[in-house]
Amino acid sequence: MLEYLKYIRRSLHKIPELFHQEFLTQKFIISELESLKLKYKTIKTAVIVDILGFDTKTRLAFRADMDALPVTEQNDADYKSIHIGRMHACGHDGHMAMLMGVAKYFSNEKPPVNLRLIFQPAEESEGGAEMLIENGVLKDVDAIFGLHLSPEYPIGVIATDAGAIFAGVCDFHIIFEGKSGHCADYQRYIDSIKAGNEFYNRIYKLFNEKYQSKTVFHVGKITAGTASNIVADKAQYDCTFRFFDENIQEDFMMRLEEILIDVENLTGAIHRVIVENYYPPLINSIHIIQMLKNKFDIIQAQPKYTAEDFAYYLKKTSGAFAWLGIKDENHIAPLHNDKFDFDEKALLIGLNYYIKIAQNSLVQQ
C-alpha cells in the first residue's frame, strides 16, 4: 500500500490546481477509480464514491480536499509541480492519496457499513463543502471523518479533541463615506478617516475589555484618502474576527454595529459593513472523539485560529477532524510554504486510521 500511496500522492503533486479548477485532478482520480471498478459521480470538479457495505443502514463518510495554492514550489524532487505558480503546499495531495488508499482497500474487501468517499474541491477559498452539502453529499451519512497533515506534530501522531479545534472566521470590510474638499476648509466637509480612527480606537477598547479571551480581532488593512491636503471622502477598514463560539461572534458584531452608529452620529460619516466570507468553528462531536480515543492512541490537539471548511459538515452531522503528524528532521517546513514536503510513510498511519474506523463502525457502538 505504501508504494500505491506514493504513486497517487506524487502523481497529484505534479498537477496542482486552484479552487474549482481541479479538472486534471478529477480526471486522474476518476481514472484510478475506474481501474478499481468502483462507481462514482461528479459534482462540478468533485468526485463522490459510494461503496456498499454489509450493513446498509449505516453510512460513514471520509473527505479529502483537492485544491492547491498559488505558490511556486522550491523543492527539487522528481515529483515537483509542473504547474508554475501552483503547489500542493497544504498537503491535499496526501489527503487524496489516503482516500484513494481507502478506495483501493475496500474495492477488494466489502466494508461492514456503507462508505462515502468525498473528494472535495475549493477548500482553500470558496467553501467547497457548502456546495457539496447543498448537492446532497451528506444524505444518509451518520458520521464524517477527515485528516489534515501537520508539520507541528511528530510523524505518525494523530491529534484531535472534542469540541472546537478550529476557529470560526468572519472577514469583513467597514466602509466610511464622508464628504471631500480642501483641508483649509475642513469644517465644511466630513472626514472619513476621522470616523475610521474613532471606530478603530473604540472597537479595540471593547475587544480588550470584553472579548480578548479565546477570540481574535484584527484590522489588517486600511485604505483611505487621495492626498495630504484633501479631506478623505472614503475610508475602508479590512477586519477579521475569529472565535470558537458563534454566540460570541453574534454578540461582537452587534456591539460593533452599535459603535458604528455612535461614530456616524458623532462624525456624520455614514458606514457600510460588507462580510467577505464566513466560516463556522469546527466542532468535533464529543461521543465520536471518545470512541476514537478508545480505539487509537490520540494526543490532545490545541485549538487553532485558522479556518477549516470541514466545519460545515460537522454542523450537519456527527464526526471528527484530526491532525496527522508529518514532522521529522528532514521535513520541517510549515503549511503553505514553498518548501513544504513530507515522508509518505505517514500516509500509512492515516490510511490505517480510516480503515479501522470503517471496520469498527464507530457510530454503532
Domain borders along the chain are 2-165+281-364, 168-279
Q: Active site residue: 279, 312, 353, 354, which one?
A: 279
CA angle 127, 153, 240 (to 5 degrees): 35
Radius of gyration (C-alpha) of the chain in whole angstroms: 24
Residue 202: CB atoms within 10 A of its CB come to: 17
Q: In what order do the strands lie in the sheet with 168-177?
A: 215-224, 234-243, 168-177, 270-279
Q: For position 127, what pLDDT does the model report?
A: 77
Decide if 279 is catalytic: yes
The answer, as to whether pTM is greater than 0.85, is yes
Q: For position 125, what pLDDT does the model report?
A: 82
Q: For position 362, what pLDDT does the model report?
A: 61
CATH number of 168-279: 3.30.70.360
Class for the domain spanning 2-165+281-364: alpha beta
Could you tell me where the beta strands, DSSP code E, fall in 8-82? 40-43, 46-51, 55-65
Cα–Cα distance measured from residue 158 to residue 153, given in angstroms and rounded to the nearest whole number: 8
Any idea which residue has 479565546 for its cell?
A: 214
Decide if 134 is catalytic: no
HSE-up (13 A, CA, CB side) for residue 15? 15
Residue numbers in the chain where pLDDT is lower than 50: 365
Q: Which of 174, 347, 349, 338 is nearest to 269 (CA)?
A: 174
Q: For position 365, what pLDDT does the model report?
A: 45
Kindly compute the dihedral angle of the four CA atoms of residues 77, 82, 84, 90, in this order, to the nearest 10 degrees: -60
